[in-house]
Structure 1
C-alpha cells in the first residue's frame, strides 16, 4: 500500500507545482499520478517539464498524456503558442520511452477501482475499447495508444465533462463499470463558485471549493474532476487529490 497523489492540470504553472506537489512527491511512500496538460497557458512550461523529468526515472511519478502534450505527438495542433524546440523534443523522448502514458488505474483502500486519464471515457469510447469491465483493463487498452480513438475530440484526451462525458453515461442505459478521475475540464466555475452544467449533473455533484475538486455520482460509480483551472497565473488555493493506503493496479 502507498499514498497516491493525483495532480490535476498544471498548465505551465511551475510555482504551483513546486510549492504544493513536490514536497509530497519526494516522500518515498508516495506515488504521484499527474493527469496531463503540464504545459501551455501559464508562465513557465519549460520549468514544469524540467521538474517532472527529474522525477520520472524514479518510477514514483506516473505522467499521463493531456491534449496539450498530444499536439507534439501526433495530435492536431491547436494552441497558438508553440513550446520551445527542446521542450517539444523532451515530450517526444518521454513518449518513446513510455514515460508518458495514456491512463493508469488505482485501487483505493476500500476496494474501489479508479480509471485515471486526462478527460475521461465516454460511453462510446468505452465501447470502442471493447467495453472493459475493470479500470485496470481499460487502462491497459488505452496504453496501447489506440488510434484514431486517442486523438479524436470525443476521446480520452478531449471529452468535455459537463457537455459530453457525464451526459453520455446519464443518457445511456449502461451503469458506469468503474469510477473515473479526470482533469481537462470541470462542471463548475471555481472563481465564482458557481455551476456551469445542467441541473441533473449539479444535483449529483459535490464540490471541494478549497481543493478545487468535484465529485459527481452516476449509476455504478462516480467521476472525480481534479483540474484546478490555474489559468495564466495559478489558482490562489488548491490541492491534489490524496488517496491513503491505495495502490496502482495498472
Structure 2
C-alpha cells in the first residue's frame, strides 16, 4: 500500500500538472484524461507526461479522455487540433497500451473505486455485463470495447450529474462500487453554483478549495468528481485527490 495521487483534467496547463505531481518519488499518479485542449500549451503537457511514462511507467497511470479519443477514432471535434507529431504520440501511446481506459484502486479502509474519465453510468455498466467489482469493470473497459467508448453516454463522454449519477438514481439498483472521474462537474466553481438536479444536489457535498465533489448514490457507493475545470485561464486554486494507504488493483 502507498500514496496514490489522482489528477483531474489538465486541459493544456503543464505548469499546473508539474506543480501537483512534482518530480516523482514514491507516489503513484493516476491522471484521468483530457491532458490537452483549451489551455495555452497542450504540447508541453504531453512532453511532461512522456518524460514520466518513459522514466517510470509503474509510477504513472495515464487514462484516456474524450479529448484524446478524438485523435484515435478519426473524428476531431476540437477547433484547434494538435499538430501531427503530438497526434502521432497519442496514437503510439494507445498502441503500446501506455494509455488505459480505466483503473481501480482499493483505499486504506477497503473501499474500491473504479476510475475513468467521465464515470460509468448504468447503460454502459450493463453493456459490460454488470460487473460487481471495480477491478472487473476496469479490466473489461481495458479491453477497449468500441461500442462503449464511442457512446456519448459512455465513460469518456457522459455528463456527470444529468447522465451518470441520475442513471443510478433512476435505476434503483445499488451501485456495486464507488467511482472517481473527471470530465465534468455538478457545480460551477467560479460562482459556487449548482449544475445538477435537486435529488443529486441533496446527496452531494463540495470541497470548493480543492474543487472536488462527493455524491452518494444507491447502496452507499459514491462518486468523487475531480475535474478542476481549468477552462481557458486555469483554476485559481485546486488540488489533486490523494489516497494514503491505497493500492492499485487494476
The interval holding the TM-score normalised by the smaller chain is over 0.9
Does residue 235 of the first structure (1) align with residue 226 of the second (2)? no
Q: 5 Å matches for 1:174-193?
A: 174-193=173-192
Q: 5 Å matches for 1:28-177?
A: 28=26, 30-57=27-54, 58=56, 59-74=58-73, 76-177=75-176
Deviations along 1:156-193, whole A, 9 cap, x unmatched?
Answer: 10010011000000001211000000000000000001
* RMSD between superposed Cα atoms in Å: 0.9
The answer on whether the counterparts of 2:172 and 2:218 sit within 8 Å (CA) in structure 1 is no
TM-score (norm 2): 0.97
Counterpart-to-counterpart distance in 1, 2:235 and 2:88:
28
Deviations along 1:44-103, whole A, 9 cap, x unmatched?
Answer: 000000001111131111000000000011163211111011110110110011010000
The answer on whether the counterparts of 2:115 and 2:180 sit within 8 Å (CA) in structure 1 is yes
Match of 1:26 in 2: 24
The answer on whether the counterparts of 1:75 and 1:151 sit within 8 Å (CA) in structure 2 is no
Counterpart-to-counterpart distance in 2, 1:148 and 1:77:
18
Counterpart-to-counterpart distance in 2, 1:76 and 1:231:
22
Cα deviation for residue 27 of structure 1 reads 1.9
Counterpart-to-counterpart distance in 1, 2:214 and 2:156:
19
State the secondary structure of the residue aligned to 1:72.
Answer: helix
Counterpart-to-counterpart distance in 2, 1:76 and 1:201:
32
Larger helix proportion, structure 1 or 2? 2
TM-score (norm 1): 0.97
Mean Cα deviation higher: 205-214 or 192-201: 192-201
State the secondary structure of the residue aligned to 1:39.
Answer: coil
Counterpart-to-counterpart distance in 1, 2:49 and 2:21:
9
The answer on whether the counterparts of 1:13 and 1:232 sit within 8 Å (CA) in structure 2 is no
Counterpart-to-counterpart distance in 2, 1:165 and 1:77:
24
Counterpart-to-counterpart distance in 2, 1:226 and 1:192:
17
The answer on whether the counterparts of 1:122 and 1:168 sit within 8 Å (CA) in structure 2 is yes
Gaps in structure 2 of 5+ consecutive residues = none
Counterpart-to-counterpart distance in 2, 1:125 and 1:76:
21
Counterpart-to-counterpart distance in 1, 2:46 and 2:204:
33
The answer on whether the counterparts of 2:211 and 2:227 sit within 8 Å (CA) in structure 1 is yes
